[in-house]
Amino acid sequence: MDTAFFIFSKIARVFLRVDTWLLLVLLVILLALLAHRYTLARRVTLASLVVFTTLGVVPVGEWMMRRIELTYPVNPPIAEVDGIIMLGGSENLRITKQWDQIQLGDAGERYLHTLALARRFPDAKVIFVGGSGSLTDAFNIEAAESSLAKRLFAEQGLDDARLQFEGLSRNTSENARYAYAQIAPGPDQTWVLVTSAFHMPRAMRSFASAGWQNVTPYPVDFYTAGRWDHLGWTPVEHFWVLNVAIKETIGGIVYSVLSR
C-alpha cells in the first residue's frame, strides 16, 4: 500500500506542475490546428499567453507559499531538548556519487540549522530521517539520503554516538512512522523537528498521526520575502515556487483526508 501510494503521488505530481500545463496547452493547440479548428486554436493561444505571462510576472506562487511558511514561528524559543530530528530532501545523491564530494540542493539550510542546534544542545540526540524520494527508487534501489547525511555529519565533527539514521522512508508520512518505530520516543521526551518552512505543516501533521508528542517545529529554508518583493518577469522562479506551493497545498489536503 505504501509503495502504491508513493508511486501514485509521484505520477500525480507531474500533472500539478505549471510546465506540464504549458505542454498540455501546446498539445491542445496542435490538435486544434490539425483538426482545422483555427478559432479554437487562436482562443487557446490567447488565453494561455495571458495566463502564463501573468504567472511569469505576478508572484502567485510566492503568495501561496508565504501563507504556508507563516504557519509556524521562525526561531522558536527552546529551553531543552532530548532530540533533534532533521528530515532529508536537500541531498543531491547522484552528483555527490559522481564527484565524491557532498552536494546539497535547495534545502541545504536544513543541515545548517540542524548543526547549529546540535552544537547549542550538545546532549541532544540527532536523528536524520530520509531514504530517497525519487520515483526511480520506489523499491529503495538508490543510495539513501541518510548515507550522505552520515558522511556530512562526520565531516562536521559530530559525535557518532549522538547520531541515528533512518534510511528507508520515501515520503513525509513514512518519515514520521519509520522514525517513530526506530526511536520509540517516550511521552516525556521533547523533540525539535527541522525541515523547510513550506514542508513543516504537512510534516507536523504526519508526526502527530504517527504518535509523536512534544515536537517543536523549527522551520528553515524560507523562500518568500515581502508581498511584492518577487514581482517581475522571472518565470522560471515563479513557476518553480508555484509548483512547490501547489504540491504542498494538495499534499496537505490528501494527507489530512487519509490521516497520514
Mapping DSSP onto H, E and C, the string for 79-121 reads CCCCEEEEECCCECHHHHHHHCCCCECCCCHHHHHHHHHHHHC
This prediction's pTM: 0.93
Indicate if 65 and 171 belong to the same structural domain.
Answer: no
Q: Per-residue confidence at 135, pLDDT binned at 50, 70, 90?
A: low
Looking at residue 141, its pLDDT comes to 45
Q: For residue 33, what are the domain limits?
A: 11-69+233-258
Domain assignment present for residue 228? The answer is no
- CA 109 to CA 119: how far, in whole Å? 15
Indicate if 89 and 216 belong to the same structural domain.
Answer: yes
The residues, any chain, with a CB within 8 Å of residue 198's CB and separated by 6 or more, are 65, 68, 69, 221, 223, 244, 245, 248
Decide: helix, strand or coil at residue 240. Answer: helix
Q: How many domains does the chain have?
A: 2
pLDDT in tens, 141-184: 445 899 999 999 999 999 999 999 999 999 999 999 999 999 99
Helix (H) or strand (E) holding 8: helix 2-14
Looking at residue 3, its pLDDT comes to 85
Indicate if 115 and 142 belong to the same structural domain.
Answer: yes
pLDDT in tens, 172-219: 999 999 999 999 999 999 999 999 999 999 999 999 999 999 999 999
Indicate if 215 and 92 belong to the same structural domain.
Answer: yes
